[in-house]
Each structure stands twice: as structure tokens, then as C-alpha cells.
């Protein structure tokens, strides 16, 4: 145990002395939190609408007014004929083209039925669908109002409607940042835990100090533990820093118990650091570590549920995701922060992450040969 | 030299990497307190051999005893009894002189009080007392080597292995470095050194010359020079090389 103390002392001195470490610890969280949380949003805001109003009637103007008053849409132009709508879509000046046909109002009054056409830039299928559904509900709303005003609200026979009034639990105001911020923190912690520790270990191989340690009576687990513990501490510092930023900048509520979160994060880190160290144990150069960690990180992050819900992935992908430590942690951090979940609510995740950690740590220790 | 003073015993030691035979049936003994040189051109198999002796590589076959311990089964136990310094001497450049000493003394389990004494002694001997807080990175190469050697024997091992320890320095610095080696040998530490500098070979008590994975000659430098009718080890080496072609 004493040996471990000397090794830890060495690691900490080296890390503190390493000037490139500080920006990673303090600048990376700020940048990622501020940029990613704000930028990586699936919310639809201000879709640019080009209206081709070939009717120019009261009814069509009311529709345009309604569009203008909607926060999701921005009417950039109203043309009375379709002369360059396609072009505008192509150039990306407009995201949506709404075609109001000639005789829109007349047909609506006479036939009680009329079609509008929506042309949506669907390069991003997600936002195209959102645009469509927002537009749809806007037009339905418009439709109801129009009927009411034309027919005169029939006092005795109000239009039959089922109204669903949602109540959003755990994030009542649907602030997207509350969903993203905890997720970004997981990414931060993962990068520090997996990547920095892996690079640190393989560097010792590159400069040759590893060989020197290999001819000493150091035990394998002591060496691996000495590589893990400092980065565990740093990762928890980064997490705290991230939480602070989330609180100060996004006013992220924290409903859970901090200790529960730190406990889970520690168990989670055991797994990702174990993987990182395993990668560096089987690699000879920093380059190899970069490529291998990049490979795992990319898959882990994209499949973690940070951006897209795991539930909407195909079944096989969901099953595969049980091998992804980030999948558990993403769930854990969101539930602890937003729902106030406790240890027992997340025991399945706890056990899974613990198992992951034990396996990875053992693999790293086993695969680490004290031979050159 | 007496038989019971054998500290390294090697018999028919073989190391293969795939089909490539790096070391082909090496057999030799190294006796306590001697400076044993391992000579050969690059790629002759010196480094592979020294790595097997210190437990960094597992031999393919043969017999190997180091400090009375089995080189196959007791590799970790051997590591307590030996010191090692490699060609890329492995101090931590981003730690200070003192921090390096503390680390390696700590790794070998030297008690704190003894460590403090040893540290002062060592700093004084190496004339590094005023540089104790300097980063190793900022030391001249010759000093780094001396420090690396001193740390390799800080736990009083019975054998110290030096793998081309004095590469890249001028002969004068090399000579000073060898003063430290003599001192260690004088204190009873057996020194096993690989080199391709022939002037270093002259400093050894006995040398083994390797070529293409085999030991082609083994004797004292004087005897070898006589046998090959050469005035220096350089001459011995050249004649040997020619006769092996």
C-alpha cells in the first residue's frame, strides 16, 4: 500500500505540473457546457417560411398573420405568385413554402374544403417533421377560429372537441437545456476518465519509464490503481465544475442527492477508466490510443441517448446499448438531477455499471504485462 | 572465481520471436562482484538477453537462475534483487531530482528515515545537492545518467543490469560514469552491462561477445586480446567479425 502512495504522489505532481492539463480541466467544461447545451438542441425555433399567397383574400391574410404571430415560424416573404419559391428552398433561404391557392377563401366558403400545400426542406428529417406537425396544428387552430367567426359561435352547440392538456413532469417548462446539461456532463467526465488516463499511461510507454517501473517490484494492480485514482479525482472535479456552470448559467434544478450522483459517477468511471487503461495497455503509441478511444467514444456518445432517445432505436441497438456504460450513466444523471431518484430507484443501473467496472479493471490488470 | 559465487547462471537460453531466433542457446555464468560485459553489434541479441535476465521478457527455453531465483517462475521475486538502467534511462523528466529519488526509494520500500539519509548521501556524492529541486529535464545528459545509475542501485541490489547505459555521451563523461560503476562493483554489486563501445569493453572484468544471437567469445579482455593478437578490444571485435563471416 505504501508503494501506491508514492506512485500517487508522483502522478499528482506530474499532473499538476503539466500545463496542458489545466485547460482540459477548467476550459473544456465551460466551453462544452456553454456551446453544446445551447447549440445541440432539437427544438424547432424560427423556421423561415415563404408564403405564396395566390389568393390575397381576408382568409389567407389571417392565416399569414397567424403564422407571423407564432414563435416557431418567421415569415420571410409573402409573394402573390410562385416565381422563385423552389429556388429559395434550394438556396436555403426558406425552410418551408406554404402555398395558398387561388380562390382559397371562395372554395373554403363554398365547398367547405380546400387544400394547402406545404413544401418542406427535409434535409434534416427531424426538423422537417416538426415543422409539419407545428404547421398542422397551427392550421387546425386557424381552421377552428375561422369556423367560429364565420358561423358565429353557436351558443348552444359549441364545436365538439377533445382537448388534451399536457402537464410536463420533471421538466415542467420543457427547457431543453435541462435535458442536455446533465448529458453533456457525462461526456465531460467520460473524456477525462477514459481518454486522459489512457494517454497518460501510454506516454510512460513511449518515454520508456514504463520499462523502468516494470523491473521494479510494483504490483500490477498498484500501477493501474495509481493511474486511475488521479483521473477519478479530476473527473469528479470536472463534474462539480459542470454542475456549478449548469446551476449558474442554466439554472438547472437539482432534485437528487449529490452523494448519490458522485457515488454513481465513481462507479461509472471505474468502467470507462478501466476501458481506457485497457486500451492503453494494448497500445504502444499515443496514436493508437487516440484512434481506439475515438472509436469507442463516438459509438458510446451517439448511442448514449444524449441526443436521440434510446427507446427510439431499433431493438437490436437497444440490446447492444447494454454494453455501453454511457447509456446507464445518461439515464442515471438525468433521473438523479431532474427526478431526484435515489440509489434504490437505479439499482439495476448501479449493478450494471459496477459489473462493467469490475470487468474492465480486471481486464486492464490482467492484460498489463510487466514485460516489455 | 568460485562456483558458489555464481549470481547469474544461464544454460541453453533461447528466445524466439515467431521464427526469428533472437538468442540462440546462450550459456554463461556471472560471478559475484564482477563487471560482466555483453558486447555485440546492434541486433546481435544483447538487449533481448538482458531483458530476459531482468524478468522483462519470458525466455522460450533453457535454464536461467538470477540471484538464486528461477528466471521462469520467480520473475517478480527477481525484480526485488536487481537494478536496471536502460538505454533511454528512465527517470521522470518532469519530476525534480529529489522527487525521483523519493519515488524510486519508495517503490523499493526503503523506510523513510533511511531514505532521507541515502538521499543526502547520494546528492552529495553526485554533487547534485544544489540541484535537488531542479527538474531532471534541465540536467545535462551526463548527470542524468549518473543519477539514473544511482537510482538503479538505491535498494542495494545484488545485481545491476545496464543496457547500453552511456549512449550519446563523450568518452570523458563515460569515464566518469564508469567510476560509479567501479564503486558499485567494489561494494559487491555485480554489474552486467551491454555495450557497443569498445573502450567500455576494456573496463569489464570479463566480456562475452555476441554475434547473430550467439556468444562467439567469452573471456577477460586481456585473454581475448592475446588470443586474437590484437592491441585493443576494437581489434578483437573486428577480427572476430571477419572470422564469423
Q: Write out chain A in H/E/C secondary structure.
A: CHHHHHHHHHHHHHHHHCCCHHHHHHHHHHHHHHHHHHHCCCCCCCEEEEEEECCCCHHHHHHHHHHHCCCCEEEEEEECCCCCHHHHHHHCCCCEEEEECCCHHHHHHHHCCCCCEEEECCCCHHHHHHHHHHHHHHHHHHHHHHHHHHHCCCCCCCCCCCCCCCCCCCCCCCCHHHHHHHHHHHHHHHHHHHHHHHHHHHHHHHHCHHHHHHCCCCCHHHHHHHHHHHHHHHHHHHHHHHHHHHHHHHCCCCCCCHHHHHHHHHHHHHHHHHHHHHHHHHCCCHHHHHHHHHHHHHHHHHCCCCCCCHHHCCHHHHHHHHHCHHHHHHHHHHHHHHHCCCCHHHHHHHHHHHHHHHHHHHHHHHHCCCCC
The residue to which cell 523491473 is assigned: A215
User: What is the tens place of the pLDDT at every residue in B132-169?
Assistant: 999 999 998 888 989 999 999 999 999 999 988 877 77
Of B190, B228, B214, the residue nearest B28 (C-alpha)? B214
Residue A360 phi/psi, 5-degree rounding, is -65, -45
Residue B40, strand partner residues? B210
Distance (Å, whole) CA B211 – CA B43? 8
Measured in angstroms, the CA of A17 and the nearest CA of chain B are apart by 8
In the predicted model, is pLDDT for residue A158 greater than 80?
A: no
The pLDDT of residue B223 is 92
User: What is the tens place of the pLDDT at every residue in B12-66?
Assistant: 999 999 889 988 999 999 999 999 999 888 788 888 999 899 988 889 999 999 9
Helix axes A258-282, A197-207, angle to 10 degrees: 30
Q: Which residues of B touch A213 (CB under 8 A)?
A: 107
CB B119 within 8 A of CB A238: no
Q: How many CB atoms lie within 10 A of CB B245?
A: 5
CA-nearest residue to A9 within chain B is: B103
Residues of chain A numbered 180-239 and touching chain B (CB < 8 Å)? 207-209, 211-218
Q: How many CB atoms lie within 10 A of CB A106?
A: 13
User: What is the tens place of the pLDDT at every residue in A17-56?
Assistant: 988 888 888 888 889 888 888 876 666 668 889 999 998 8
* Phi-psi map region of B193: left, alpha, beta (phi>0 left; psi -120 to 50 alpha): beta
Mean pLDDT, to the nearest integer, of A134-161?
74
What DSSP designation does B149 have?
Answer: H
Residues sharing a CB contact under 8 Å with residue A136, sequence separation 6 or more, in sequence order: none
Q: Which residues of B touch A13 (CB under 8 A)?
A: 95, 99
Which CA distances in Å does B196 have to A272, B15, B31, B86, B201? 45, 21, 22, 14, 8
Distance (Å, whole) CA A269 – CA A275? 10
The pLDDT of residue A265 is 96
The pLDDT of residue A15 is 92
Measured in angstroms, the CA of A220 and the nearest CA of chain B are apart by 11
Measured in angstroms, the CA of A13 and the nearest CA of chain B are apart by 8
Distance (Å, whole) CA A127 – CA A133? 10
Cβ contact (<8 Å) for A214 and B93? no
**Average predicted confidence (pLDDT) for chain A:** 87
Q: Does A13 touch chain B (CB under 8 A)?
A: yes
Q: Which residues of B touch A203 (CB under 8 A)?
A: none
Residues sharing a CB contact under 8 Å with residue B153, sequence separation 6 or more, in sequence order: B83, B160, B184, B189
Mean pLDDT, to the nearest integer, of B68-79?
90
What DSSP designation does B115 have?
Answer: H
Distance (Å, whole) CA A285 – CA A201? 10
Pairing mode, strands A73-79 and A47-53: parallel
Q: How many CB atoms lie within 10 A of CB B117?
A: 10
Of B58, B94, B102, the CB nearest to A17: B94
Q: Does A9 touch chain B (CB under 8 A)?
A: yes
The pLDDT of residue B218 is 92
Measured in angstroms, the CA of B29 and the nearest CA of chain A are apart by 21
Mean pLDDT, to the nearest integer, of A108-123?
85
In the predicted model, is pLDDT for residue B112 greater than 50?
A: yes
Measured in angstroms, the CA of B78 and the nearest CA of chain A are apart by 9
CB A338 within 8 A of CB A178: yes
Better-predicted residue by pLDDT, B173 or B149 = B149
Q: How far is CA A228 from the centre of its chain?
A: 27
Angle made by CA atoms A233, B103, B118, in degrees to the nearest 5: 150
Residue A51 phi/psi, 5-degree rounding, is -105, 125
Q: Which residues of B touch A209 (CB under 8 A)?
A: 90-92
Of B57, B106, B161, the CB nearest to A6: B106
Of A145, A147, A163, A203, the residue nearest A18 (C-alpha)? A203
Pairing mode, strands A47-53 and B61-66: unpaired
Which CA distances in Å does B180 have to A128, B31, B132, B177? 77, 19, 19, 5
What DSSP designation does B197 have?
Answer: -
Residue in B84, B90, B155 to test binding to A, most A beta-carbons within 10 Å: B90
In the predicted model, is pLDDT for residue B69 greater than 80?
A: yes
Confidence of residue A156 (pLDDT cuts 50, 70, 90): low
Of B51, B58, B79, the CB nearest to A217: B79
Distance (Å, whole) CA B56 – CA B50? 9
The pLDDT > 90 percentage for chain A reads 43
The pLDDT of residue A41 is 66
Better-predicted residue by pLDDT, B79 or A155 = B79
The pLDDT of residue A143 is 83
Q: Which fold has domain A47-151?
A: abc type-2 transporter like fold (3.40.1710)
Cβ contact (<8 Å) for B107 and A215? no
Distance (Å, whole) CA A209 – CA B165? 15
Mean pLDDT, to the nearest integer, of B198-219?
89
CB A199 within 8 A of CB A280: yes
User: What is the tens place of the pLDDT at every residue in A238-272?
Assistant: 999 999 999 999 999 899 899 999 999 999 999 99
Which CA distances in Å does B99 have to A6, A10, A32, A275, B131? 10, 8, 36, 30, 12
CA-nearest residue to A8 within chain B is: B103
Q: Does A20 touch chain B (CB under 8 A)?
A: no
Cβ contact (<8 Å) for A372 and B56? yes
Residue A162 phi/psi, 5-degree rounding, is -100, 120
Residues of chain A numbered 310-329 and touching chain B (CB < 8 Å)? none
The pLDDT of residue B1 is 46
Measured in angstroms, the CA of A8 and the nearest CA of chain B are apart by 10
Measured in angstroms, the CA of B91 and the nearest CA of chain A are apart by 7
Q: Which residues of A touch B72 (CB under 8 A)?
A: none
Distance (Å, whole) CA A117 – CA A131? 13
The pLDDT of residue B89 is 66
Of A6, A18, A207, the CB nearest to B107: A6
Say how many CB pairs under 8 Å bridge A and B. 75
Residue in A212, A214, A223, A371 to test binding to B, most B beta-carbons within 10 Å: A212
Confidence of residue B231 (pLDDT cuts 50, 70, 90): confident
Residues of chain A numbered 333-372 and touching chain B (CB < 8 Å)? 370-372
Cβ contact (<8 Å) for B90 and A211? yes
Q: Which residues of A touch B113 (CB under 8 A)?
A: none
Q: Which residues of A touch B89 (CB under 8 A)?
A: 208
The pLDDT of residue B108 is 93
**Average predicted confidence (pLDDT) for chain B:** 89
Q: Which fold has domain B3-243?
A: Rossmann fold (3.40.50)
The pLDDT of residue A266 is 95
CA-nearest residue to B47 within chain A is: A372
Q: How far is CA A371 from the centre of its chain?
A: 42
Which CA distances in Å does B141 have to A199, A308, A363? 27, 56, 38
Q: Which residues of B touch A2 (CB under 8 A)?
A: 106, 109
Confidence of residue B181 (pLDDT cuts 50, 70, 90): very high
* Phi-psi map region of B55: left, alpha, beta (phi>0 left; psi -120 to 50 alpha): left
Amino acid at each position: 500500500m505504501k508503494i501506491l502512495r508514492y506512485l500517487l504522489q508522483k502522478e499528482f505532481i506530474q499532473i499538476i505540473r503539466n500545463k496542458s492539463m489545466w485547460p482540459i480541466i477548467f476550459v473544456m467544461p465551460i466551453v462544452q457546457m456553454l456551446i453544446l447545451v445551447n447549440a445541440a438542441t432539437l427544438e424547432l425555433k424560427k423556421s423561415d417560411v415563404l408564403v405564396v399567397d395566390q389568393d390575397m383574400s381576408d382568409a389567407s391574410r389571417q392565416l399569414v398573420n397567424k403564422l407571423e404571430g407564432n414563435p416557431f415560424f418567421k415569415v420571410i416573404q409573402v409573394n402573390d405568385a410562385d416565381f422563385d419559391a423552389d429556388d429559395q428552398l434550394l438556396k436555403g433561404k426558406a425552410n418551408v413554402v406554404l402555398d395558398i391557392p387561388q380562390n382559397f377563401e371562395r372554395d373554403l366558403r363554398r365547398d367547405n374544403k380546400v387544400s394547402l400545400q406545404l413544401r418542406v426542406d427535409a434535409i434534416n428529417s427531424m426538423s422537417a417533421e416538426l415543422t409539419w406537425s407545428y404547421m398542422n396544428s397551427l392550421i387546425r387552430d386557424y381552421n377552428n377560429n375561422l369556423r367560429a367567426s364565420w358561423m358565429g359561435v353557436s351558443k348552444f352547440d359549441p364545436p365538439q372537441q377533445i382537448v388534451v392538456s399536457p402537464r410536463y413532469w420533471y421538466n415542467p417548462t420543457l427547457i431543453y437545456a435541462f435535458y442536455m446539461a446533465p448529458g453533456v456532463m457525462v461526456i465531460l467526465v467520460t473524456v477525462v476518465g477514459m481518454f486522459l488516463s489512457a494517454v497518460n499511461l501510454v506516454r510512460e510507454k513511449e518515454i520508456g519509464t514504463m520499462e523502468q517501473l516494470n523491473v521494479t517490484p510494483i504490483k500490477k494492480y498498484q500501477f493501474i490503481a495509481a493511474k486511475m485514482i488521479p483521473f477519478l479525482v479530476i473527473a469528479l472535479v470536472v463534474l462539480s465544475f459542470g454542475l456549478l456552470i449548469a446551476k449558474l448559467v442554466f439554472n438547472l434544478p437539482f432534485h437528487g442527492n449529490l452523494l448519490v450522483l458522485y457515488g454513481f459517477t465513481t462507479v461509472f468511471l471505474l468502467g470507462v477508466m478501466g476501458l481506457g487503461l485497457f486500451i492503453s495497455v494494448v497500445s504502444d503509441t499515443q496514436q493508437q490510443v487516440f484512434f481506439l478511444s475515438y472509436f469507442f467514444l463516438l459509438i458510446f456518445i451517439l448511442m448514449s441517448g444524449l441526443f436521440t432517445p434510446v427507446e427510439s432505436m431499433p431493438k437490436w441497438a437497444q440490446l447492444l446499448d447494454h454494453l455501453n456504460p454511457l447509456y446507464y450513466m445518461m439515464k442515471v444523471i438525468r433521473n438523479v438531477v431532474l427526478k431526484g431518484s435515489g440509489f434504490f430507484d437505479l439499482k439495476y443501473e448501479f449493478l450494471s455499471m459496477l459489473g462493467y467496472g469490475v470487468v474492465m479493471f480486471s481486464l486492464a490488470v490482467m492484460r498489463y504485462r510487466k514485460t516489455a | 572465481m568460485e562456483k558458489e559465487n555464481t549470481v547469474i547462471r544461464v544454460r541453453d537460453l533461447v528466445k524466439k520471436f515467431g521464427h526469428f531466433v533472437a538468442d540462440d542457446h546462450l550459456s554463461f555464468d556471472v560471478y559475484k562482484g564482477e563487471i560482466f560485459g555483453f558486447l555485440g553489434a546492434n541486433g546481435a541479441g544483447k538487449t533481448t538477453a538482458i531483458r530476459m535476465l531482468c524478468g522483462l521478457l519470458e525466455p522460450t527455453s533453457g535454464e536461467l537462475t538470477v540471484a538464486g531465483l528461477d528466471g521462469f517462475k520467480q520473475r517478480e521475486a527477481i525484480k526485488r534483487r536487481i537494478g536496471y538502467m536502460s538505454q533511454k534511462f528512465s527517470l521522470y523528466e518532469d519530476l525534480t531530482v529529489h522527487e525521483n529519488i523519493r519515488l524510486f526509494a519508495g517503490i523499493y520500500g526503503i523506510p523513510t528515515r533511511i531514505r532521507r539519509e541515502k538521499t543526502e548521501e547520494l546528492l552529495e556524492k553526485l554533487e547534485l545537492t544544489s540541484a535537488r529541486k531542479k527538474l531532471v529535464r534541465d540536467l545535462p545528459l551526463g548527470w542524468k545518467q549518473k543519477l539514473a545509475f544511482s537510482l538503479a542501485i538505491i535498494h542495494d541490489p545484488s545485481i545491476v543490469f545496464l543496457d547500453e547505459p552511456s549512449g550519446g555521451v563523450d568518452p570523458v563523461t563515460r569515464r566518469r560514469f564508469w567510476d560509479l560503476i567501479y564503486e558499485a562493483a567494489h561494494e559487491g554489486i555485480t554489474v552486467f552491462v551491454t555495450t557497443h563501445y569498445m573502450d567500455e569493453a576494456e573496463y569489464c572484468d570479463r566480456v562475452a561477445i555476441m554475434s547473430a544471437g550467439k556468444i562467439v567469445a567469452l573471456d577477460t579482455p586481456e585473454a581475448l586480446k592475446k588470443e586474437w593478437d590484437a592491441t585493443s578490444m576494437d581489434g578483437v571485435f573486428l577480427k572476430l567479425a571477419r572470422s564469423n563471416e
